[in-house]
């Protein structure tokens, strides 16, 4: 007992100490308990005295407590141990016991202290240390600790994984042993700065053990204990993906900025508070603003006159409805007309706009011009530089039957069908027009209802102040009546010319072909009255008279044929004639002379080919050509006649008639080839009327003939027959 505390002192301490003082007999029953028991486990001294200690002991601690009790009863030194008592209200109370055996009193003196708070604190400390260790070891960031000399005290698993080291291999080593050479200077510098008490942050590139370059965000700071630095801690966070994402975002932002800067429209990006977040260079030029000064400012502060105006209402509508708006409005501050497209998003508005001031002014001028143009009877149309019609006046509708709605967006060539006699004069004049010169011409067009109309066309190009072509103004004047008068006069002139030519031909016939046989006949008639009928001279004179009369009859027949052709002009009956049938009929008529000279006819005209013509005239044409070929054949080779068809289209049919005869000199013949009674082979019998009839028959049917020939090689005729 004396070795622990004397009884008197024990009693005094038990009265004032917060610890519970108690005694047990040799069997483990409480014999004395201080009043501190009430505050520790809720039982009073009277409630505990005489009861076995196990009644208040947590069951789990019975074996260990019994062992310590037995050790104490055996006279061992003072023992200290812990167990748990059950409080009167049922909760557990951690108790630290100090016990000693008193041989004199035959009791065990004990002091019991409530260490619940201490134990909880210790447990929390252990848990905290465990959590720290767990976080340290499992942290994905690299963590290592250095002492003040720079040697590594501890590393986590991420450190080992990145540098490919075991923890033992890194401990007690300087960082220079595992860092790449290029990283050593910056790490040493920052380590020294940390020893001065500074917290540092920097980026560093490292090559991992997988030979991959990674970027780390490094934080290095000192750790203190009692005001003194005890070690330096380093945390390295892998930000490679963040850096790459940032670089990607930056690249995309650069591309987007390039796109925004390259578009011809001005662009403003507004947030939902109407602050300007982006301005491209075109917007700076159009709106006379500076991105350095105006970025971040409220758009209605920059353009106060527009607050509550058209722009404000349209922008609000776009944000509230989530639908893009398109409009044009006047910006009074800058005297600009703008065409605007605003596209809403969750972040705000993207506003695209372009300057249409000149377009609006041009449109106003156009409207004024249209008021004037609508009052004129002439046909007026306005087209853009690509010849797309923008406007036509009422005179256009009256003349061409096309309304404004039908014309807009189309090109003049889409509306004006060209007449059959039109030679497209505009094609030759367009280069002058594009150089800035106005052009005028006449052309035959077809109205919507199919009626042909002659118009006088005046086209003027319109250029802007920079010399760029903007549009064309085209004025059509109806000259159909005038043109018809001109055509009638032209036709009359042609008829007069032809009649004059006929008179000249008839004069030639009368003066040459008729005069000679008539003079001969008159002389012979007079001679017969003087000659004896029974003489040879009389018989010879009668024979000559008969020849002169026959010549006179032939000339009269030729004149009758010519007059018949002239009289038929304009009233000639035509029909669909099969060309092969006519060729076969002519060949049958001339079969005997053709075979007699050993000639050959080769026709490659398609079967069933028909032409609109007069069958008798067509027969006469082929008969005269084929008989001439036989008559004027070459003596050096067999005659070959070739007939081909080169086309049968909407424009008409072209037939070639070729022979390998003696031919003639085109230079000597000049314009005499198809003249009446003109012959180029005087050694052969002929009247010189065949080619005249060929030409006259073709012209009567609306066609014409062309010829080419070479002496000793042959002749080629091209016959042009129209479809109607």
| E strand map for 518-620 | 575-578, 600-603, 610-613
706 domain residue, yes or no: yes
* pLDDT tens per residue, range 573-619: 778 889 898 888 888 888 888 888 899 999 888 888 888 888 888 88
The secondary structure of residue 76, as a DSSP letter, is P
Same-domain check for residues 386 and 472:
yes
Indicate whether 256 belongs to any domain.
no
The CATH number of the domain holding residue 397 is 3.30.450.20
Asked whether residue 708 falls in the same domain as residue 576, the answer is yes
593 and 708 fall within a common domain:
yes
Last residue of a domain, one of 322, 355, 388: 355
183 and 232, same domain (yes or no): yes
Give the C-alpha separation, 314 to 461, whole Å.
38
- Which candidate, 207, 211, 217, 208, places its Cα nearest to that of 243? 217
Q: How far apart are the first and last CA of the chain?
A: 154
- Dmax over CA atoms of the chain, in Å, equals 220
Q: What is the pLDDT of residue 570?
A: 52
Pick 286 or 362 by higher pLDDT: 286
Task: Give the containing element (helix H, strand E) for 71.
Answer: helix 62-73
Tell me the mean pLDDT in the region 134-144.
Answer: 82
Is residue 230 located within the same domain as residue 156? yes
The average pLDDT across 688-711 equals 84
Q: Which of 307, 324, 355 delimits the end of a domain?
A: 355
* Residue 161's pLDDT band (cuts 50, 70, 90): confident
| pLDDT at residue 515 in the model | 56
The 10s digit of each residue's pLDDT in 276-296 is 999 998 889 888 899 889 999
Number of continuous H segments (helices) and E segments (strands) in the chain: 26, 28
Write out the DSSP string of 12-62.
HHHHH-SSEEEEE-TTSBEEEE-THHHHHHS--HHHHTTSBGGGSB-GGGH
pLDDT of 423 strictly over 60: no
* Residue 187: pLDDT over 60: yes
Give the chain's domain count: 6
* CB neighbour list of residue 500: distance below 8 Å, 6 or more residues apart: none
Same domain for 552 and 584, yes or no, is no
Closest CA to 638 of 624, 659, 656, 657: 659
Residue 85 pLDDT exceeds 50: yes
Q: What are the Cα distances from residue 437, in Å, to 144, 168, 430, 448, 474?
A: 86, 95, 9, 30, 13
The answer to whether 188 and 181 are in contact (CB under 8 A) is: no
Q: Which of 562-571, 637-646, 659-668 has the lowest mean pLDDT?
A: 562-571
Residue 126 lies in a domain: no
Give residue 175's pLDDT band: very low, low, confident or very high (50, 70, 90).
Answer: confident
**Range of 185's domain?**
139-243
Q: Coil, strand or helix: which one is 242? A: helix
Q: Assess if residue 128 is contained within a domain.
A: no
Q: What is the pTM of this model?
A: 0.33
Last residue of a domain, one of 567, 593, 611: 567
Residue identified by tokens 């424009």 is 651
Rounded to whole angstroms, how far apart are CA atoms 149 and 610?
Answer: 117
| CB of 217 closer than 8 Å to CB of 236 | yes
pLDDT-based confidence at 552, cuts 50/70/90? low
């Amino acid at each position: 007992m004396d070795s622990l505390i004397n009884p008197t002192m024990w009693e005094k301490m038990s009265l004032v100490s917060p610890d519970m003082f108690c005694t047990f007999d040799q069997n483990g029953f409480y014999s004395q308990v201080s009043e501190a028991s009430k505050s520790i486990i809720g039982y009073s001294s009277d409630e505990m005295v005489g009861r076995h200690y196990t009644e208040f002991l947590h069951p789990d601690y019975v074996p260990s407590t019994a062992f310590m009790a037995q050790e104490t009863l055996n006279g061992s030194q003072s023992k200290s141990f812990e167990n748990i008592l059950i409080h009167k209200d049922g909760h557990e109370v951690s108790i630290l016991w100090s016990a000693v055996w008193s041989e004199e009193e035959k009791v065990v003196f004990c002091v019991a202290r409530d260490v619940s708070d201490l134990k909880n604190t210790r447990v929390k400390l252990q848990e905290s240390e465990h959590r720290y260790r767990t976080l340290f070891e499992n942290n994905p960031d690299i963590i290592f600790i250095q002492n003040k000399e720079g040697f590594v005290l501890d590393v986590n698993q991420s450190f080992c994984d990145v540098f490919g080291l075991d923890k033992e291999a890194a401990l007690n080593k300087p960082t220079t042993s595992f860092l790449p050479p290029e990283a050593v200077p910056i790490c040493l510098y920052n380590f020294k700065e940390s020893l001065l008490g500074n917290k540092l942050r920097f980026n560093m590139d490292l090559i991992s053990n997988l030979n991959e370059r990674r970027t780390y965000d490094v934080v290095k700071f000192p750790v203190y204990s009692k005001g003194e630095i005890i070690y330096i801690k380093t945390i390295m966070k892998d930000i490679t993906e963040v850096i790459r994402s940032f670089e990607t975002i930056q690249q995309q932002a650069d591309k987007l900025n390039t796109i925004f800067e390259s578009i011809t429209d001005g662009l403003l990006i507004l947030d939902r508070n109407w602050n300007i977040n982006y301005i491209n260079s075109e917007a700076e030029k159009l709106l006379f603003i500076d991105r350095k000064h105006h970025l971040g400012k409220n758009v209605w502060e920059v353009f106060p006159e527009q607050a509550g105006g058209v722009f404000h209402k349209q922008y609000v509508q776009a944000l509230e409805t989530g639908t893009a708006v398109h409009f044009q409005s006047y910006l009074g501050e800058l005297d600009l007309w703008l065409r605007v497209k605003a596209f809403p998003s969750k972040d705000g508005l993207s506003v695209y706009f372009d300057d249409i001031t000149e377009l609006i002014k041009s449109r106003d001028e156009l409207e004024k011009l249209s008021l004037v143009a609508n009052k004129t009877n002439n046909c007026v149309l306005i087209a853009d530089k690509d010849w797309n019609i923008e406007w036509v006046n009422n005179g256009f509708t009256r003349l061409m039957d096309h309304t404004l709605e039908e014309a807009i967006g189309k090109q003049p060539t889409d509306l004006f069908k060209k007449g059959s006699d039109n030679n497209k004069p505009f094609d030759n004049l367009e280069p002058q027009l594009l150089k800035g010169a106005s052009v005028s011409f006449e052309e035959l067009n077809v109205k919507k209802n199919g009626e042909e109309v002659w118009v006088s066309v005046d086209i003027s190009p319109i250029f802007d102040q920079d010399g760029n072509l903007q549009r064309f103004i085209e004025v059509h004047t109806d000259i159909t009546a005038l043109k018809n008068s001109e055509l009638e006069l032209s036709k009359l002139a042609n008829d007069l010319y032809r009649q004059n030519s006929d008179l000249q031909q008839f004069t030639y016939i009368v003066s040459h072909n008729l005069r000679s046989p008539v003079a001969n006949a008159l002389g012979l008639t007079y001679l017969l009255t003087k000659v004896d009928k029974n003489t040879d001279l009389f018989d010879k004179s009668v024979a000559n008279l008969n020849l002169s009369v026959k010549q006179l009859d032939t000339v009269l027949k030729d004149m009758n044929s010519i007059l018949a052709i002239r009289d038929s002009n304009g009233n000639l009956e035509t029909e669909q004639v099969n060309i092969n049938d006519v060729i076969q009929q002519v060949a049958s008529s001339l079969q005997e002379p053709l075979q007699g000279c050993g000639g050959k006819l080769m026709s490659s005209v398609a079967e069933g080919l028909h032409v609109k013509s007069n069958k008798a005239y067509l027969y006469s044409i082929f008969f005269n050509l084929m008989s001439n070929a036989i008559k004027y054949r070459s003596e050096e080779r067999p005659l070959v006649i070739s007939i081909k068809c080169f086309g049968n289209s909407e424009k008409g049919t072209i037939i070639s008639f070729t022979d390998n005869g003696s031919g003639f000199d085109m230079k000597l013949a000049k314009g005499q080839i198809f003249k009446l009674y003109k012959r180029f082979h005087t050694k052969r019998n002929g009247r010189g009327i065949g080619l005249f009839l060929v030409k006259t028959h073709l012209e009567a049917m609306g066609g014409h003939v062309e010829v080419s020939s070479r002496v000793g090689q042959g002749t080629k005729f091209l016959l042009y027959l129209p479809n109607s």
